[in-house]
Structure 1
Amino acid sequence: MPYEVPQSKKSLKQNRFEFKLPGDKKLYSVPLLQYIRPAFIRDYSELDANEFMVKFIDAELPGVLDKLEDSEQLEALMNAWSEASGITPGESEASPSS
């Protein structure tokens, strides 16, 4: 009997990172880093972690990064997303959780 790949759990609330932007009442969310599509990881694996995360947010939530006012806000957002995902800087986005 062939192996059946299980359904993705990326849409479950606990597997998503939610955030708000200053002055914006909208709630945004992206999957935790371990739930990013493998095809996206394959296509952008040559990027460093910060570039990868920016590219992903831009793809998932077009225009959201344009609402940020400076790189400090972007860095804080990426650090919070990494922390929520349990992935520390220098660790690959595709690495399994320990």
Structure 2
Amino acid sequence: MAVLTITKDNFQSEVLQSDKPVLLDFWATWCGPCRMVSPIVDEIAGERGDIKVGKVNIDDQMELAQQFGVMSIPTLVVIKNGEIANKAVGAMPKDNILALL
């Protein structure tokens, strides 16, 4: 499945109303560790049809970043049934990201 660009406009429909767990990657273009995590998140999106994967650019979507209390990036958040099921901050290997799910 393709990675979705999550905005405040599609957040309700793509994330909160999703029938699948959603992995959200909060990132920014200027963030080095985000650039390390991004290809891993893309890979997971391609391999796992049982989840949705979305990316939130914190510079463009400051409201969503504040809503999730994002203080450092990358921040990965797993949403299940409209609720936060897991959250992790910082670059990490693929196995650790998969463990969040």
Normalising by structure 2, we get a TM-score of 0.27
Normalising by structure 1, we get a TM-score of 0.27
- The structure whose residues are more often strand, as a share, is 2
Which structure carries more relative contact order (alpha carbon 8 Å, separation 6+)? Answer: 2
Indicate the structure (1 or 2) with the bigger Cα radius of gyration: 1
- The structure whose residues are more often helix, as a share, is 1
